[in-house]
A and B are shown apart, each in its own frame.
Chain A
Protein backbone atom coordinates (compact mmCIF):
# COMPACT_ATOMS: atom_id res chain seq x y z
CA UNK A 1 0.00 0.00 0.00
CA UNK A 2 1.17 3.50 -0.83
CA UNK A 3 -0.30 6.52 0.95
CA UNK A 4 0.63 10.05 -0.07
CA UNK A 5 0.35 13.08 2.18
CA UNK A 6 1.51 16.66 2.40
CA UNK A 7 -0.57 18.24 -0.33
CA UNK A 8 -2.45 21.47 0.08
CA UNK A 9 -2.72 25.05 -1.10
CA UNK A 10 0.53 26.98 -1.39
CA UNK A 11 1.46 30.37 -2.82
CA UNK A 12 3.65 30.66 -5.92
CA UNK A 13 7.32 30.64 -5.07
CA UNK A 14 6.85 28.76 -1.81
CA UNK A 15 7.84 25.19 -0.93
CA UNK A 16 6.06 22.00 -0.02
CA UNK A 17 7.19 18.49 0.85
CA UNK A 18 5.17 15.45 -0.11
CA UNK A 19 5.48 12.07 1.58
CA UNK A 20 4.54 8.59 0.45
CA UNK A 21 4.29 5.95 3.17
CA UNK A 22 4.79 2.41 1.95
CA UNK A 23 3.61 -0.77 3.63
CA UNK A 24 3.12 -4.42 2.80
CA UNK A 25 6.37 -4.87 0.90
CA UNK A 26 10.12 -4.47 1.40
CA UNK A 27 10.42 -0.82 0.45
CA UNK A 28 14.21 -0.78 0.20
CA UNK A 29 14.17 -3.24 -2.70
CA UNK A 30 12.10 -1.08 -5.02
CA UNK A 31 12.72 1.88 -7.27
CA UNK A 32 10.06 4.53 -6.72
CA UNK A 33 8.55 7.32 -8.80
CA UNK A 34 6.44 10.43 -8.54
CA UNK A 35 3.87 11.07 -11.26
CA UNK A 36 1.48 14.00 -11.40
CA UNK A 37 -1.76 14.84 -13.13
CA UNK A 38 -3.00 18.37 -13.58
CA UNK A 39 -6.78 18.83 -13.34
CA UNK A 40 -8.43 17.39 -16.42
CA UNK A 41 -5.07 16.54 -18.00
CA UNK A 42 -2.97 13.46 -18.63
CA UNK A 43 -0.26 11.78 -16.61
CA UNK A 44 3.13 13.45 -16.34
CA UNK A 45 6.13 11.70 -14.86
CA UNK A 46 8.03 13.81 -12.32
CA UNK A 47 10.95 11.93 -10.82
CA UNK A 48 12.53 8.56 -10.04
CA UNK A 49 14.80 7.31 -7.30
CA UNK A 50 16.49 3.94 -7.56
CA UNK A 51 16.07 1.22 -4.96
CA UNK A 52 19.42 2.11 -3.37
CA UNK A 53 19.02 5.87 -3.74
CA UNK A 54 22.07 6.18 -5.97
CA UNK A 55 20.21 7.21 -9.12
CA UNK A 56 17.76 10.08 -9.36
CA UNK A 57 16.26 11.51 -12.54
CA UNK A 58 13.81 14.33 -13.12
CA UNK A 59 11.47 15.65 -15.75
CA UNK A 60 12.79 18.81 -17.37
CA UNK A 61 9.78 20.71 -16.07
CA UNK A 62 10.86 20.23 -12.43
CA UNK A 63 14.63 19.84 -12.70
CA UNK A 64 16.44 22.15 -10.30
CA UNK A 65 13.26 22.84 -8.29
CA UNK A 66 12.15 19.41 -7.04
CA UNK A 67 14.17 16.82 -5.13
CA UNK A 68 13.23 13.19 -4.67
CA UNK A 69 14.52 11.25 -1.69
CA UNK A 70 13.78 8.20 0.40
CA UNK A 71 14.16 7.02 3.98
CA UNK A 72 14.18 3.24 3.99
CA UNK A 73 14.18 3.15 7.79
CA UNK A 74 10.78 4.84 7.66
CA UNK A 75 9.55 3.16 4.47
CA UNK A 76 8.86 6.59 3.09
CA UNK A 77 9.40 8.37 -0.20
CA UNK A 78 9.60 12.16 -0.38
CA UNK A 79 9.29 14.94 -2.92
CA UNK A 80 10.63 18.33 -1.90
CA UNK A 81 9.09 20.96 -4.13
CA UNK A 82 10.60 24.44 -4.18
CA UNK A 83 9.84 27.56 -6.20
CA UNK A 84 6.36 26.29 -6.92
CA UNK A 85 4.46 27.61 -9.92
CA UNK A 86 0.81 27.62 -10.89
CA UNK A 87 1.56 24.95 -13.48
CA UNK A 88 2.68 22.59 -10.71
CA UNK A 89 -0.94 22.33 -9.59
CA UNK A 90 -1.81 18.65 -9.83
CA UNK A 91 -2.59 15.43 -8.05
CA UNK A 92 0.74 13.85 -7.17
CA UNK A 93 0.99 10.07 -7.14
CA UNK A 94 3.79 7.89 -5.90
CA UNK A 95 4.27 4.65 -7.80
CA UNK A 96 6.34 1.53 -7.37
CA UNK A 97 8.45 -0.29 -9.95
CA UNK A 98 7.13 -3.74 -10.76
CA UNK A 99 10.26 -5.71 -9.96
CA UNK A 100 12.85 -5.55 -7.22
CA UNK A 101 16.26 -4.07 -7.87
CA UNK A 102 15.32 -2.72 -11.31
CA UNK A 103 15.03 0.64 -12.99
CA UNK A 104 12.84 0.38 -16.06
CA UNK A 105 9.87 2.63 -15.52
CA UNK A 106 7.10 0.10 -15.11
CA UNK A 107 4.61 0.74 -12.30
CA UNK A 108 2.56 -1.96 -10.64
CA UNK A 109 1.25 -0.08 -7.61
CA UNK A 110 0.12 3.52 -7.25
CA UNK A 111 -1.02 5.54 -4.30
CA UNK A 112 -4.32 7.40 -4.35
CA UNK A 113 -2.61 10.74 -4.78
CA UNK A 114 -2.41 14.05 -2.94
CA UNK A 115 -3.58 17.34 -4.43
CA UNK A 116 -1.22 20.29 -4.61
CA UNK A 117 -2.71 23.64 -5.53
CA UNK A 118 -0.40 26.54 -6.24
CA UNK A 119 -2.34 29.77 -6.04
CA UNK A 120 -2.10 33.20 -4.52
Chain B
Protein backbone atom coordinates (compact mmCIF):
# COMPACT_ATOMS: atom_id res chain seq x y z
CA UNK B 1 0.00 0.00 0.00
CA UNK B 2 1.07 3.55 -0.67
CA UNK B 3 2.72 5.47 2.15
CA UNK B 4 3.21 9.16 2.83
CA UNK B 5 5.94 10.37 5.16
CA UNK B 6 5.84 13.67 7.02
CA UNK B 7 8.07 15.06 9.77
CA UNK B 8 6.40 14.71 13.15
CA UNK B 9 6.93 18.31 14.12
CA UNK B 10 8.59 21.55 13.20
CA UNK B 11 8.80 25.06 14.52
CA UNK B 12 8.88 28.39 12.74
CA UNK B 13 9.53 31.88 14.02
CA UNK B 14 6.74 34.39 13.77
CA UNK B 15 6.85 36.03 10.35
CA UNK B 16 9.20 33.46 8.86
CA UNK B 17 8.59 30.67 6.34
CA UNK B 18 7.68 27.08 7.17
CA UNK B 19 8.08 24.29 4.64
CA UNK B 20 6.35 21.01 5.42
CA UNK B 21 7.37 18.04 3.32
CA UNK B 22 5.40 14.97 2.34
CA UNK B 23 7.36 12.10 0.86
CA UNK B 24 6.01 9.29 -1.27
CA UNK B 25 7.10 7.10 -4.16
CA UNK B 26 6.64 9.14 -7.35
CA UNK B 27 4.26 11.43 -5.50
CA UNK B 28 4.84 13.98 -8.25
CA UNK B 29 2.56 11.90 -10.45
CA UNK B 30 -0.33 12.20 -8.00
CA UNK B 31 -2.59 15.02 -6.86
CA UNK B 32 -1.66 16.05 -3.33
CA UNK B 33 -4.02 17.81 -0.95
CA UNK B 34 -3.17 19.48 2.36
CA UNK B 35 -5.34 19.92 5.43
CA UNK B 36 -4.91 22.07 8.50
CA UNK B 37 -6.33 20.86 11.79
CA UNK B 38 -6.44 22.88 14.99
CA UNK B 39 -7.12 21.25 18.38
CA UNK B 40 -10.71 20.15 18.80
CA UNK B 41 -11.65 21.11 15.26
CA UNK B 42 -12.30 19.31 12.00
CA UNK B 43 -9.65 19.48 9.29
CA UNK B 44 -9.75 22.30 6.77
CA UNK B 45 -8.55 22.02 3.18
CA UNK B 46 -5.77 24.56 2.59
CA UNK B 47 -4.24 23.30 -0.69
CA UNK B 48 -5.78 21.01 -3.31
CA UNK B 49 -4.28 19.37 -6.36
CA UNK B 50 -0.73 20.25 -5.40
CA UNK B 51 -0.86 24.02 -5.50
CA UNK B 52 -4.41 25.39 -5.54
CA UNK B 53 -5.89 27.39 -2.70
CA UNK B 54 -9.59 27.16 -1.84
CA UNK B 55 -11.40 30.44 -1.44
CA UNK B 56 -10.79 31.96 1.95
CA UNK B 57 -7.32 30.48 2.38
CA UNK B 58 -4.63 33.18 2.61
CA UNK B 59 -2.10 33.55 -0.18
CA UNK B 60 0.55 32.82 2.43
CA UNK B 61 -0.25 29.14 1.90
CA UNK B 62 1.24 27.56 -1.21
CA UNK B 63 2.10 24.09 -2.43
CA UNK B 64 4.36 22.28 -4.84
CA UNK B 65 4.86 18.69 -5.90
CA UNK B 66 7.64 17.02 -7.84
CA UNK B 67 9.50 13.75 -7.88
CA UNK B 68 9.17 12.04 -4.53
CA UNK B 69 8.29 15.10 -2.44
CA UNK B 70 5.36 17.45 -2.07
CA UNK B 71 5.75 20.62 -0.03
CA UNK B 72 3.37 22.91 1.78
CA UNK B 73 4.84 26.37 2.33
CA UNK B 74 3.52 28.81 4.89
CA UNK B 75 4.97 32.28 4.35
CA UNK B 76 5.01 35.01 6.98
CA UNK B 77 3.85 32.57 9.62
CA UNK B 78 1.29 33.81 12.12
CA UNK B 79 0.33 32.53 15.53
CA UNK B 80 -2.97 31.33 14.05
CA UNK B 81 -1.10 28.96 11.73
CA UNK B 82 -0.10 26.79 14.65
CA UNK B 83 -1.79 23.47 13.90
CA UNK B 84 -1.38 19.94 12.60
CA UNK B 85 -0.98 19.64 8.84
CA UNK B 86 -1.75 16.50 6.83
CA UNK B 87 -0.94 15.66 3.24
CA UNK B 88 -3.23 13.29 1.37
CA UNK B 89 -3.47 11.46 -1.95
CA UNK B 90 -5.84 9.12 -3.76
CA UNK B 91 -4.20 5.82 -4.66
CA UNK B 92 -5.67 2.55 -5.89
CA UNK B 93 -9.20 3.50 -4.88
CA UNK B 94 -8.17 4.43 -1.36
CA UNK B 95 -7.39 7.66 0.43
CA UNK B 96 -3.96 7.87 2.01
CA UNK B 97 -3.01 10.42 4.66
CA UNK B 98 0.43 11.32 5.85
CA UNK B 99 1.07 10.98 9.54
CA UNK B 100 0.74 14.70 10.13
CA UNK B 101 3.16 17.47 11.08
CA UNK B 102 2.66 19.58 14.18
CA UNK B 103 3.71 23.15 13.43
CA UNK B 104 4.63 25.42 16.31
CA UNK B 105 4.97 29.16 15.77
CA UNK B 106 7.57 30.67 18.08
Contacts and interface: CB of A to CB of B under 8 A. Distances in A.
Interface of A: 33, 35, 42-45, 48, 55, 57, 59-60, 93, 98, 104-108, 110-113
Contacts of A107: 33, 35, 43, 45
Interface of B: 1, 31, 33, 35, 37, 41-45, 48-49, 54, 84, 86, 88-90, 93-100
A104 B42 contact: no
B42 A112 contact: yes
B42 A48 contact: no
Contact of A105 (B84, B86, B89, B99): B89
Contacts of A59: 94
A42 B99 contact: yes
A42 B100 contact: yes
Contacts of A48: 93, 95
User: Closest 8 interchain pairs by CB?
Assistant: A105-B90, A45-B95, A110-B42, A42-B100, A105-B95, A43-B97, A57-B93, A42-B99
A104 B35 contact: no
B43 A110 contact: yes
A35 B90 CA distance: 14
B100 A43 contact: yes
B94 A42 contact: no
A35 B44 CA distance: 13
A106 B49 contact: yes
Given A105-B95, A106-B49, A43 B33 contact: no
